[in-house]
Amino acid sequence: MSKAVENEFKFTTDRTSGKKAILDSLESFLDDHDVEYEVRTRSSVDTYFDSKDLDLYRSVCSLRNKVSSKGKVKLT
Indicate the pTM of the whole model.
Answer: 0.41
Give the model's confidence band at 6: pLDDT under 50 very low, under 70 low, under 90 confident, else very high.
Answer: low
Task: Give the model's pLDDT for residue 66.
Answer: 62
CA gap 4, 11 in Å, rounded: 22
8-37, pLDDT tens digit by residue? 666 666 566 677 777 788 888 889 988 888
Q: Hey, where are the domains in the chain?
A: 19-75
User: Is residue 2 predicted with pLDDT exceeding 70?
Assistant: no
- For residue 5, what pLDDT band results from cuts at 50, 70 and 90? low
